[in-house]
């Protein structure tokens, strides 16, 4: 039996809508830094060139927005979540990851979603550099959950023992954000 690609309550679009609440990042590859902190034995602070030198992967995944649109079969290039997890030597006590944007905007997710095969820190989309309006130079993409959990203009990760709800979660959006269960808001 073939698995459905579009969760309930979603409609397919060929476009890549632009939605964000923060000001886009002005990217300077000379000053940009990516930090990995928290419950890790090997904290990281990487320049753009150092980040690009990490093992890269290509995945194809669907992207589901909480507002009701889905874009299917996106091709992402970047660094897998599990690669960062391994390099930073994340401790077993870490159960969640907080993703941090340049502005301080955050989102949180369970470590299992971050380590899934469809979780990537992406710098390319469909063969092109990720555009600023879509979170370039770097955004997290965790395809198994709604896109508000995927942070644009990513500059860091913090691995934590206890959950730290992010921007949308403290405003009533569902903490787990499973599109197949339509976990859009906490009252759902």
Per-residue pLDDT of 118-143, as tens digits, reads 999 999 999 999 999 999 999 999 99
Per-residue pLDDT of 157-168, as tens digits, reads 999 999 999 999
For the question of whether the overall pTM of this predicted structure is more than 0.85, the answer is yes
Three-class SS string for the chain? CCCCCCCCCCEECCCCCCCCCCCCCCCCCCCCEEEEEECECCCEEEEHHHHHCCCCEEEEEEEECCCCEEEEEEEEEEEEHHHHHHHCCECCCCCEEEEEECCCCEEEEEHHHHCCCCEEEEEEECCEECCHHHCCCCEEEECCCCHHHCCCCEEEEEEECCCCCCCCHHHCECCCCCHHHCCCECCC
Domains annotated on the chain, with CATH: 34-181 (3.90.420.10)
């Amino acid at each position: 039996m073939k698995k459905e690609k579009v969760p309930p309550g979603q409609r397919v679009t060929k476009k890549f809508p632009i939605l964000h609440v923060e000001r886009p990042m002005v990217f300077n590859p000379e000053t940009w830094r990516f930090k990995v902190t928290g419950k890790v034995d090997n904290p990281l602070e990487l320049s753009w060139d150092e980040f690009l030198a990490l093992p890269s992967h290509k995945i194809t995944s669907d992207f589901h927005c909480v507002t009701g649109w889905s874009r299917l079969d996106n091709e992402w290039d970047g660094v897998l979540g599990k690669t960062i997890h391994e390099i930073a030597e994340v401790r077993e006590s870490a159960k969640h990851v907080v993703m941090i944007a340049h502005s301080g905007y955050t989102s949180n997710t369970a470590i299992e979603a971050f380590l899934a095969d469809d979780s990537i820190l992406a710098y390319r989309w469909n063969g092109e550099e990720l555009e600023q309006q879509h979170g370039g130079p770097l955004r997290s993409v965790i395809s198994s959950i709604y896109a508000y959990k995927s942070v644009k203009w990513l500059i860091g990760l913090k691995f934590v023992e206890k959950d730290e709800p992010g921007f949308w979660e403290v405003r009533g959006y569902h903490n787990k954000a499973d599109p197949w269960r339509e976990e859009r808001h906490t009252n759902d």
